[in-house]
Structure 1
Amino acid sequence: MSFAAIRSIATSALMASQVRMQVASTNIANADVAGYTKKTTVQIATASTGAGTGTVVTAVTSEVDKYLLADVVSAASALGAADVTDAKADALQALFGSTTSSSGTGTSIADTITSLQTALTSLAGTAESGTLNSLAVSSLDAVASELRELSAGVQGLRADADSQIADAVDVANTALDTIAALNEQIVAAKALGQSTADLEDTRNNALETLGGVLDVSYIVKANGEMRVSTTSGTALVDSAVHHLSYTPAAVVTDDTVFAGITVSGKDVSSEIGSGAIGALLEQRDDVLPGVQSALDALAGQLIDTLNAAYNTGSSLPPPTTLTGTTAVAGADPLNATGTLRVATTDSDGNIVSHADLDLSGIATMDDLVTALNGIDGISASIASGTLVITSTDGNGIAIADIDSSVDSAGFSDYFGLNDLLVGSDAGSIRVRSDILAGTTAFATATLDTSGTPDVGDAVLNHSGTFVQSLETAMAADSSYAATGGIRASSTDLAGYAALIVSDAASKASSAATALETKQSTYDTASDALTSSTGVNVDEESARLSELEQYYSAAAQLLDTLNAMFDALLSAARS
């Protein structure tokens, strides 16, 4: 073998060892870098005319198991969804409070309703007490205010989710841009025979980031290009980038219609089932509206229950005008039966005039107005679409069903002539403004219908029994349909409120457990990938030591060759 051939072999061994040592050193240096995969060299022997001429490193690669990578991306999507669900469930639980506390009293809407019932029971014991009357109004306002606050809080969580969807879309688009840019670099490098291992690491990290915000499908083509789509097949990265587009709502209410998440004008919202965006869509459009529905059911039942009972009573002194809340028109039929007592009294509740009105023969609302106008001291009309009854002599007005009803409801309740609460849901429920302001006292009296009174008789008196009937109505069971994760049930108002609070706590507990499970799954998948492609420092250190020996041997061979060459030159000169 010639000196030239020996020098070529030794030099190539020296250069190959140097490259391999560099790769091993880089592996050790990046062992703790997230997403870094172990790089290996591809080394082959070279030959010419059948004789070996040395060795050469042809490539630096990293072998990433495509199935393990797919597991990590899928687990990242599930973890992203679980993280969002847990955060929203925690926020919801914090909003609703608890039915128990360290002091033994709860902080939830169920406890506020119970406090109202307690205030009504106290007032029933001394119905004429101004202090207890004010306390009952304050307790009722606390319930209505808390329901409004809870409703606003739920809508606030929906607004947060909507805003976070826009943020997550930005994250997704950044990841898509990164993947597309790296595709170009990887394809170009492969075409030139250059290493793409580090570029592929960076692209895989971007893919995992993308998977964290939405579930995706992907393939890697033979030329190294990665193509990404939604799980339903809508392209996100092919020969170009197809960005997600989303505009969050300016204001979020329970009837807000949200824009869709689009790709090239196509709404892909329904194609996103996991990741942070999938979970945010579920919270905004399903979970939180379900909670709102339960709150509205509670508020609606409270309004109906208290108004029905409260309309059987009157304040003392009585009001000079009764204004309904039910929309009616003059030509509307009146489906009524029985006898209604209508009376005017002085400020002490002593009768001035009265009439017992037979409703059975009254066919329409206009006929009812005519009949009411025929009562001494009474003026009735349909104004702004509601029934209005006014005293013409400055006295107060009180009405009571002797045995009358309109569409199976009490007369006053049907027309809403003495409603305690106004509004229709948790977002709008309020105590009637004049009662809350104190210009009209909370009703504690009832009109006597037991006989035919004479002028001057006390017919309007404070009644503990009436006040207690309000609490009794609240404590009665009502039927609630299944909604928002809460099963169909028959329970009282406080009991249903407790179910809502318990459901929020249950959601938080389930979400925490799910997050722990998804985190474990992700960690397992990530560990498996790391075990397959990560750096083992001990192995790399041993390899580096071995390569140093190879390098030293090659260097020693060159030194020996040089010495032999010098000896030959000296011999030739002599």
Structure 2
Amino acid sequence: MSLSTAMKTAQSSFSNVGLQSAVASKNIANASDASYARRSAVLATAATGASVVETQRAQNEALLKQNLISISKSSAQDTLLTGLTSMKMMLGGEDYELAPSTYLSKLRDNLQAFADKPNEVSLAETVIADATDVANSLNSTSLAVQKMRAEADADIGTAVTELNRLLSEFKIYNDQVKQGTAAGTDVNDALDQRDKLLTQISQIVGVSTLKRTNNDLALYTSDGTVLFETEPRTVTFTPTPTYTAAVTGNPIYIDGVAVQAGAGGNTSAQGSIAALLQLRDEAAPIFQNQLDEISRGLISMFSESIETPAGSGTFVDTDGLFTWSGIPTVGSPGLGAVIKVNPAVITSQGGNAMLLRDGINDTFNIGNNASFSELLKSYTAAFETPMTFDADAAIDTTATILAFSTGSVGWLEQLRSAATTAGDDKAALLGRTQEALQNVTSVSLDEELALLLDLEQSYKASAKLVAAVDEMITALLQAAG
């Protein structure tokens, strides 16, 4: 090997060590950044030895795509479970102590006690208080359900705004990747940012990718709607600020195509907005329908059939213990929010609790008999009599009022239990997928420090070569005198 060749080899080695050290140092500096993918300097054989030809970024396309799917599914499941847990808390939590079924059981028991002692005013007052608790439970739960729908609607609006922002930012880095790839420059930092945006987008909506020329990416939703293709597609949504049972929320459109809500406890949704739609437009309305049906059943059970006019043989159902206020009618959406106890039996409102025994219109206990209990017994019997309920309430269509109200709790608990199990499964899958991806792309400080030690030895070897060449040149010059 000539002295000039030796010097060129040493210079090449110094250059390689410098570049490799810079890459390793950058890896170490970004070791805690989850969006950073490890870099490695790639060497190739040249006339003067090896030289760094490019800096490669660790990646695995298959694992990245699987990770995006896992993020979308886990995000949707967590969103649904949060909403269902909120619905459970409306009913009092683990023991469901605030559920209408709890208050209905107490009403039935005290009504039976009153039927056994129909002359006890205190028992009459107790029954009226129990009926008030039932109505208040239905009212408060109905209002809480509609509040939850409004909150879900607001969350959808926030998510849509964020999605549009992320897509706009995605275009910036996608353009950098395309231009850099075409020009042959380093685009690794832009790729990191683009992948980071992908994970954030996948939390909001299910996304799949298609790689095209010059590393260009096109994005599609999980159902095939174009999300990004050279330019971001517009995501539109009009919020609805106030919700009642009769209000239907507005859809979300991506490139003019409506986003579909998820379905089931193990939701089919991918991304938070599909799960929010499921809560707003499916789970909450079904629960509201159950509350409305309980209210309808109560109003019907305690209604009084009055001959009008007297002696005509024509009987008309009139309000009994329960009535309602406002626009909704029996069988219409929102009845649970407006059901109330008839003021005629509320002492504090000028009523008489004993009218529950004698009839609201005071037409049953004609002789004002203190032991009259026929009407009260008919009410207690009604608690054991099956009724017909709306099939859209997703519970048995024929059941007693207590069985139906208990079935409402069971429906919610079954849905929440399925969501909890699915949430654990999807979180575990996401954890495994992220771990597998990080094993490929993340920075290991041990490996980087070991590499720096190897580079140090390479630098020392090159330095020794330069020193040897220097000594040889010095000796030659001295010999030449």
Q: If the length of structure 2 is used for normalisation, what is the TM-score?
A: 0.88
Give yes or no for contact 2:302–2:319 (8 Å, CA) kept in 1: no
Give yes or no for contact 1:59–1:194 (8 Å, CA) kept in 2: no
What residue is the counterpart of 1:471 in the other structure? 380
Q: In the superposition, relative to structure 1, how do residues 202 and 96 fare at CA in structure 2: closer, same or farther (>3 Å)? A: same
Runs of 5+ in structure 2 lacking a partner?
263-268
The worse-fitting range, judged by mean Cα deviation, of 561-570 and 7-16 is 561-570
What residue is the counterpart of 1:32 in the other structure? 32
What residue is the counterpart of 1:41 in the other structure? 41
What residue is the counterpart of 2:15 in the other structure? 15
Q: How many Å separate the matches in 1 of 2:132 and 2:319?
A: 20
Is 1:88 the equivalent of 2:106?
Answer: no
The worse-fitting range, judged by mean Cα deviation, of 166-175 and 14-23 is 166-175
What residue is the counterpart of 1:49 in the other structure? none
Shift of 1:232: 3.9
What residue is the counterpart of 2:266 in the other structure? none
SS in 2 for 1:223: helix
What residue is the counterpart of 2:65 in the other structure? 70
Give yes or no for contact 2:209–2:218 (8 Å, CA) kept in 1: yes
Q: How many Å separate the matches in 1 of 2:250 and 2:397?
A: 35
What residue is the counterpart of 1:281 in the other structure? 277
Shift of 1:77: 0.4
Give yes or no for contact 2:358–2:364 (8 Å, CA) kept in 1: no
Shift of 1:43: 1.5
Shift of 1:276: 0.7
Shift of 1:419: 6.7
Query: Higher helix share goes to which structure?
Result: 2
What residue is the counterpart of 1:326 in the other structure? none
Q: How many Å separate the matches in 2 of 1:27 and 1:107?
A: 56
Which digits, 9 at most, give the CA deviation of each residue in 1:511-546, with x for residues without a partner? 221111000010111111112222333333332222
Is 1:6 the equivalent of 2:1?
Answer: no
What residue is the counterpart of 1:317 in the other structure? none
Between the two proteins, what is the percent identity of the paired residues?
25
Q: How many Å separate the matches in 1 of 2:413 and 2:67?
A: 31
SS in 2 for 1:475: coil
Give yes or no for contact 1:119–1:132 (8 Å, CA) kept in 2: yes
Letter in 1 for 2:88: Q
Runs (4+) off by over 6 Å: 446-450
Q: How many Å separate the matches in 1 of 2:20 and 2:93?
A: 63
What residue is the counterpart of 2:265 in the other structure? none
Shift of 1:274: 1.4
Q: How many Å separate the matches in 2 of 1:113 and 1:99?
A: 18
Is 1:530 the equivalent of 2:438?
Answer: yes
CA RMSD of aligned residues (A): 2.6
Letter in 2 for 1:85: L
Q: How many Å separate the matches in 2 of 1:16 and 1:271?
A: 55
Alignment of structure 1 residues 157-168 onto 2, 5 Å: 157-168=148-159
Q: In the superposition, relative to structure 1, how do residues 281 and 341 fare at CA in structure 2: closer, same or farther (>3 Å)? A: closer
Give yes or no for contact 2:302–2:320 (8 Å, CA) kept in 1: no
Q: How many Å separate the matches in 2 of 1:248 and 1:564?
A: 82
Is 1:237 the equivalent of 2:148?
Answer: no
Is 1:554 the equivalent of 2:467?
Answer: no
Alignment of structure 1 residues 98-497 onto 2, 5 Å: 100=95, 106-264=97-255, 266-270=256-260, 273-307=269-303, 310-311=304-305, 356-357=311-312, 359=313, 411-413=315-317, 416=318, 420-422=322-324, 424=330, 425-436=335-346, 438-442=349-353, 443=355, 444-445=357-358, 459-462=367-370, 463-486=372-395, 488-497=396-405
Query: Higher strand share goes to which structure?
Result: 1
Q: How many Å separate the matches in 2 of 1:271 and 1:6?
A: 69
SS in 1 for 2:58: coil
Q: How many Å separate the matches in 2 of 1:161 and 1:135?
A: 39
Shift of 1:277: 0.8
Which digits, 9 at most, give the CA deviation of each residue in 1:112-151, with x for residues without a partner? 0112122322332333443333322222121111101111
Shift of 1:73: 0.1
Q: In the superposition, relative to structure 1, how do residues 276 and 99 fare at CA in structure 2: closer, same or farther (>3 Å)? A: closer
Letter in 1 for 2:272: A
Give yes or no for contact 1:166–1:247 (8 Å, CA) kept in 2: yes
Letter in 2 for 1:412: V
Q: How many Å separate the matches in 2 of 1:230 and 1:534?
A: 27
What residue is the counterpart of 1:502 in the other structure? 410
Which digits, 9 at most, give the CA deviation of each residue in 1:531-563, with x for residues without a partner? 222233333333222222112111221222223
Which digits, 9 at most, give the CA deviation of each residue in 1:255-302, with x for residues without a partner? 2232222345x1432388411111111111111111111111111111
Letter in 1 for 2:464: Q
What residue is the counterpart of 1:381 in the other structure? none
Q: How many Å separate the matches in 1 of 2:259 and 2:319?
A: 47
SS in 1 for 2:337: coil
Q: How many Å separate the matches in 1 of 2:459 and 2:42?
A: 17
Shift of 1:192: 3.5
Q: How many Å separate the matches in 2 of 1:478 and 1:263?
A: 44
Letter in 1 for 2:298: L
Which digits, 9 at most, give the CA deviation of each residue in 1:60-79, with x for residues without a partner? 11131111100000000000
- Higher Cα Rg: structure 1 or 2? 1
Letter in 2 for 1:159: A
Q: How many Å separate the matches in 2 of 1:42 and 1:513?
A: 46
Q: How many Å separate the matches in 1 of 2:386 and 2:231?
A: 62
Q: How many Å separate the matches in 2 of 1:227 and 1:521?
A: 26
Q: How many Å separate the matches in 1 of 2:319 and 2:17?
A: 97
Letter in 2 for 1:13: S
What residue is the counterpart of 1:389 in the other structure? none
Letter in 2 for 1:68: L
Letter in 2 for 1:298: I
Which digits, 9 at most, give the CA deviation of each residue in 1:415-437, with x for residues without a partner? x2657423532122122234335
The worse-fitting range, judged by mean Cα deviation, of 214-223 and 23-32 is 23-32
SS in 2 for 1:427: helix
Give yes or no for contact 1:230–1:271 (8 Å, CA) kept in 2: no
Shift of 1:489: 5.0
Q: How many Å separate the matches in 2 of 1:116 and 1:53?
A: 95
SS in 1 for 2:33: coil
Shift of 1:93: 1.0
Q: How many Å separate the matches in 2 of 1:542 and 1:341?
A: 97
Give yes or no for contact 1:148–1:427 (8 Å, CA) kept in 2: yes
What residue is the counterpart of 1:383 in the other structure? none
Q: If the length of structure 1 is used for normalisation, what is the TM-score?
A: 0.74
Q: How many Å separate the matches in 1 of 2:112 and 2:71?
A: 55
Letter in 2 for 1:554: S
SS in 2 for 1:57: strand
Give yes or no for contact 2:249–2:280 (8 Å, CA) kept in 1: no
Q: In the superposition, relative to structure 1, how do residues 64 and 417 fare at CA in structure 2: closer, same or farther (>3 Å)? A: closer
Q: How many Å separate the matches in 2 of 1:190 and 1:465?
A: 88
Shift of 1:569: 3.3
